[in-house]
Homo-oligomer: A and B are copies of this chain.
Amino acid sequence: MPETKVKKTEDFNEWYNEIVELAGLCDKRYPIKGMNVWMPYGWKLMKHVDDLIREEMTLTKHEEVCFPLLIPESLFKKEEEHIKGFSGEVYWVTHAGSNKLEERWLLRPTSETAMYPIFALWIRSHTDLPLKTFQIVNTFRYETKQTRAFIRVREIHFFEAHTCHADLDDAERQIKEDKEIADRLMRKLSLPCVFNKRPNWDKFAGAFYTISIDVLMPSGRTLQVGSIHQYKQNFSKPYNITYETIDGKHEFCYQTTYGMSERLLGAIIGVHGDNKGLVLPPDVAPVQVVIIPVIFKGKENEINKACMLIHDRLKNRGIRVEIDQRDCTPGNKFYEWELKGVPLRIEIGPKDLEKNECLIVRRDTGEKYTTPQHSIEEKVASELKQLSERLYNNAKKLLDANIHHVTDLKDADNLKGIIEVPWCGDESCALEVEKFLDCNTLGEPIDSKVYDGKCPICGKHADKYMRYAKMY
């Protein structure tokens, strides 16, 4: 059986690179760097994450659309900051067949510049607002840094919500709703996260402000899995998205966006996995329960029949269950399903058969116990719930233990994770701290309380603090 050459606890980054292929999530041998093949198991996992996002979007009355991939250069260039931020990382289509195009088209790196000219046509009056839309598509960025599956790729599976509002208040309400959506979603993935208001000098190109959704990986680096942007009227003005007010005036809309990507998979793999392989949160696990018949000669039929019965009962309850009747040893099967991170394993052997029991094995703890078959549905449901909670609690402990608040930079020596440092508000001071810590500026906590400290660089009063971390 294949297994990772390194342990997660020994070399996280190398383990990560190995496990994504071993577990059958993606194939990195496609001949364009950073463009990987989604294998069936990985694609199913991603689709379950997409489904959770769609559920949240339906709940909050966003409507799904799908805009073209290609964007004419002239549309792209309407918002000055946006083009500055992205023009270095877009792919250009210049020819069709053997013809040179009159105007170059780019592959969307994100869809503002494809959507907003059309929003300008859709929105006429205040009764058309708020406009709440989203799409789930692949986007393209020319990454020049080292690529890493799901974390830094050139074709990115991406969710993006785009909204238009009559005023800033309503746009701010949207940002609040986005945070609530993110909270619910991340809880289902058992991923505790921190929201950070990105520093002004490193926000999304064209945004008024950007909130990043960051997860702490076991390597001590943070992974930005999503972002929420307040655009105010920064895009509605160049793209002329106006509406008629009740009084017959014409105003520019206020806009927000909210995006998340396949990096969520990167976080799931990195945060929950262990030396045996993946550990998948039940809400998104392609297989939640695997049933393995432990066959002894002469009992094949009865054992297989009992397994099928349990299989059908769980399936009827909407549980994603598989039965593994392949012709190989139970040990090999255990090994493979552990690698793939299936939350629960059920075994039925001759003794279990006699007692009308089965053995349940938890992927996260390795805990095993027998349980009566008659109440298997309830048992499985409760174990899946507990497993999800335990994954979350463990990750939360790791996160909490790795957020360090220091007032003196010397205390930050050898600290891993997120480091909070008092900040006077000057960009230059934050950049000094970055340098000293060999970190990047993550941003200000969005829920920071009144703060009274001293900037460790300039000594001035600091009424807030900034977070720093090594980032993926």
Contact = CB atoms under 8 A, between A and B. Distances in A.
Interface of A: 27, 29-32, 35-40, 43-44, 47, 63-70, 72, 75, 87-98, 105, 107, 114, 117-118, 121-122, 133, 138, 140, 142, 155, 157
Contacts of A70: 32, 35, 91, 155
Contacts of A91: 70, 93, 95-96, 105
A27 B96 contact: no
Residue with the highest number of chain B CB atoms closer than 10 Å, among A36, A37, A40, A90? A37
6 contacts: A29-B118, A32-B70, A35-B69, A36-B68, A69-B140, A93-B93
Given A31-B72, A31-B117, A87-B98, 20 more contacts: A27-B118, A30-B118, A32-B68, A35-B69, A37-B66, A37-B118, A39-B65, A40-B63, A43-B65, A43-B66, A69-B140, A88-B97, A90-B97, A91-B93, A91-B95, A91-B96, A92-B94, A93-B94, A94-B94, A97-B142
B94 A37 contact: no
B37 A67 contact: yes
A121 to B, nearest CB: 6
Contacts of A88: 97-98
Given A95-B91, A95-B92, A64 B43 contact: yes
Contacts of A31: 72, 75, 117
A385 B55 CA distance: 28
A40 to B, nearest CB: 4
Contact of A96 (B36, B43, B92, B122): B92
B37 A69 contact: no
Nearest to A89: B97
Contacts of A35: 68-70
A118 B40 CA distance: 14
A39 B67 CA distance: 9
A118 B39 CA distance: 11
A87 B97 contact: yes
Contacts of A66: 37-38, 43, 157
Contacts of A43: 64-66
B32 A72 contact: yes
